[in-house]
Chain A
Amino acid sequence: MGLSTFHTLNTASRGLAAASAQIAITAQNTANAGTVGYTRQSAQLQALPGVQPTGLFPNPTGAGQGVEVAAIGRSASELLNTQVRHALGQSGYQQVNAEAFSGIEDILREPGDASVSTAISAYHSAWQDYANSPGDPGAGTALLEAAKSLTGRVSSDYQKLENQYSAQEAELAAEVNQVNSLAEQLAQINGTIRSTGAAGGSTNELLDFRDQIAEQLSALTGGQLRPAADGTGEFLVGGNALVSGETAHALAPGEDATTGEPIVAWSHRPGSAGLDGGSLAGRVAVLSDAGPIAKAMGQYNATAQAIATNTNAVYATGVAADGSTGHTFFEVTGDPAAKNLTIEVTDPAAIIHAAVGGGGMDGSIADQISTTGTEVLGDWSGYVSGVGSSARGALDGLNLAVGSESSARASQQSMASVDRDEEAVNLVTFQHAYQASARVLTAVDEMLDTLINRVGLVGR
């Protein structure tokens, strides 16, 4: 007993079905060639074995029963995806760091005419001019203006630093909200993946979506996705689960219990989230007491304080018109010093210039004050050049991180992205496979025609 005549018809029909499934997947790939996060798919075909011989007189095994689509595969590599997420965490951190330094450089405007160092030089020059024309209201007015422009520059720069600090705090809060909403989405998608998978559906597009959310979370928190066998993903931040199955935990901006520095904490339990990287860790570092903004504020305060102290130390030894000594030129009226440096003298003709016993037109006190700026200026330019080096380092770090991000991304895309030429070749192949199966169908049809319509016509 041979194979059933209709066996081959079935085989051909299975071939047709497989080819058209492959064409459908090619269509899906081509349609999504430009979709961000899409991972190319392919039909995994499996040959069907022949019918198991049974009965009393089993025949030798016949041809197989054709082909079936066993699964629709997804060309994703967990290793490459992990590398991309890791690189995203790094570059997220570096981006924030580099931006913070760049912001401080914008405020410093060094070297330049509208900078603190220029204002300090101008202030001391004005004392020199006043020493040349002691008691002259013109020179005195110029001196008061130079002093005002210095205190104004210092306090307005400091205000900008404070604005930058609060902008970073606002950014931090916004990003924490973003993390929380992404975590919710990931938990939700986990649920959908689980139920779709259990019902036997294809979860490929859902997994793409899952990976997309995980990448955003990694860029923010430096955390990692740990995929489970059923396609759901656990997202870990600092070793603890932000998302586990269908449960999402929340982060919240907080303060360190001992230092009071800003941190990102867990909402559901005490303690810092211990971020490994990402832009949130960058912001926490920028906002810390050792961060660039706090350091800049410290430098501005120290400079303001030093100018006041240096000027006043000499100024107090000078003698006023009424013969009194111990006067002050500047006063630091509160904290922070940079914003509270005020000029005590209002009358330009009453600025003290003479030493005790120096004569009415003595300018030696004014001259002495004019020489007190060198150290302050030296400290300042040392600080500025330090900021320059740190900013340079931050930029180099960012370039490095962006470089490794794009290289990780290239490897990932090499695996996952759709190639139009490849799909065109596949399309031709599948089209031919379809045509060939159709030809088999025609052949069987002709065979049957011969058998049924042409056989046994003798004598009719």
Chain B
Amino acid sequence: MTMINRVTSSMTTAATRANLQDSAKTLAELQNKAASRQAISRPSDDPAGTRTAMAARAEIARNTQYERNLNNADLWLQSADTALQSGLDIMVRVQELALSGNNGTLSQAARDASATEVEQLRKELLSLANTQVLGRNVFAGTSAADFAYMDGAPPTWNGSPDASVQRRISDTTTIQVDVSGVDAFGADTETSASVFTVFSDLASGLRTGTDLSGSIGALESSRQQMSDALTASGARHATVGRTLEAVRTQLTELEATRMSTEEADLAETAVELQMQQLNYQAALAVSAQALQTSLLDYLR
């Protein structure tokens, strides 16, 4: 600043005006900050903070989506778990029926009754295998068929053997939310039989009075297969639960990051505002005093 040798009344006026203007501008900015609670209302307020806030916002958007996906995955796996759990209950009952039917003490009438119950339970299991969630088959993979299983001897599986239903749970990972019907209920091939075929064979064995030990063996391996499928889907279900927890925690943290970057601290702003109001009042008082004095007041 150049040295000023002479101070004139117009300079005093101009300086006073400029000072008051500065003070009022700072006050207005603070009032705006307090009202909007925004520390960053435009990128230039804090260029680095803007980047942080935008990254947090993008991640919040992604994680909110993952939270939605996980809730959806939870629904799918819950349905699969329930269906397989009920399926295993049926297996236990059918195994009981098979064992009691095989010990030779049962009358044919009782064996016929057992056969009817097995056939009934087969229908029940088939309907469990057609469990749907939000209009989608849980045991048919990505297939668009109306039902996972069409009844028949043996029932036909409409599922997709190579593609499973996946939900994205992070930027890099997806998780399978369906259970393949083949994995849970077995497939009818030359070497193996589906649980439905095993049930049918058992029912006819009971009616004809033949030895059931083959069916009992097949039942056990079907039960084992279903139980394995339940364990696998249960493990995935647990993963989904844990991930959901983690995503929610992360969302809270991200929101905190965003708020601390983007939003003004209310207490701090309030104190600053109070101080600036005092400054402004002081500036007004000083100006009023400075502008009052004039030699003309003292001349006759």
Contact = CB atoms under 8 A, between A and B. Distances in A.
Interface of A: 33-34, 101-102, 105-106, 108, 110-111, 117-118, 121-122, 124-125, 128-129, 131-133, 135, 354, 357-364, 367, 370-371, 374, 377, 380-382, 384-389, 391-392, 395, 406-408, 410-411, 413-415, 417-422, 424-425, 428
B299 A428 contact: yes
A417 B11 contact: yes
A414 B50 CA distance: 44
Contact of B42 (A391, A410, A417): A391
B294 interface: yes
A108 B163 contact: no
Interface stretch (B61-69, B86-94, B202-210, B282-290): B61-69
Contacts of A406: 18
Nearest to B162: A357
Given A354-B142, A414-B7, A424 B295 contact: yes
Contacts of B271: none
Contacts of A387: 43-44
A425 B295 contact: yes
A132 B50 contact: no
B166 to A, nearest CB: 7
Contacts of B174: 367
28 contacts: A33-B10, A101-B44, A102-B42, A108-B42, A111-B43, A111-B54, A118-B61, A121-B62, A129-B68, A132-B69, A357-B162, A358-B163, A359-B141, A359-B163, A370-B168, A371-B168, A388-B43, A388-B44, A389-B47, A392-B44, A410-B2, A411-B2, A413-B14, A414-B4, A414-B6, A417-B10, A418-B10, A419-B9
Nearest to B6: A414
A386 B271 CA distance: 32
Contact of A424 (B1, B53, B299): B299
B53 A111 contact: yes
B266 interface: no
A388 B47 contact: yes
A382 to B, nearest CB: 7
Contacts of B61: 118, 121-122, 124-125
B43 A128 contact: no
A329 B160 CA distance: 27
A348 B11 CA distance: 70
Interface in B124-177: 134, 136, 141-145, 160, 162-163, 165-168, 171, 174
B10 A129 contact: no
Contacts of A131: 168
Contacts of A110: 43, 50, 54
B142 A132 contact: no
A360 B146 CA distance: 11
Residue from B11, B46, B51 whose CB has the most chain A CB atoms within 10 Å: B51
Interface string B103-133: 0000000000000000000000000000000
A123 to B, nearest CB: 10
Contacts of A380: 54
Contact of B262 (A111, A117, A358, A359): A111
Contacts, number: 178
B193 interface: no
Given A111-B50, A420-B296, A117 B9 contact: no
Given A358-B163, A364-B166, A424-B294, 5 more contacts: A361-B141, A370-B65, A381-B58, A414-B8, A421-B294
Q: Which are the 5 A-B pairs with shortest beta-carbon distances?
A: A360-B144, A388-B43, A359-B142, A388-B47, A391-B44
Interface residues on chain B, size class: 35 or more
B142 A362 contact: yes
Contacts of A370: 65, 168
A129 to B, nearest CB: 7
Contacts of B136: 361
A108 B296 contact: no
Contact of B142 (A34, A358, A413): A358
B165 to A, nearest CB: 7
B58 A407 contact: no
Contact of A128 (B18, B54, B168): B168
Contacts of B46: 388
Given A110-B50, A367-B174, A377-B58, A415 B168 contact: no
A384 B45 CA distance: 12
A384 B58 CA distance: 14
Interface string B4-24: 111111110011001000000
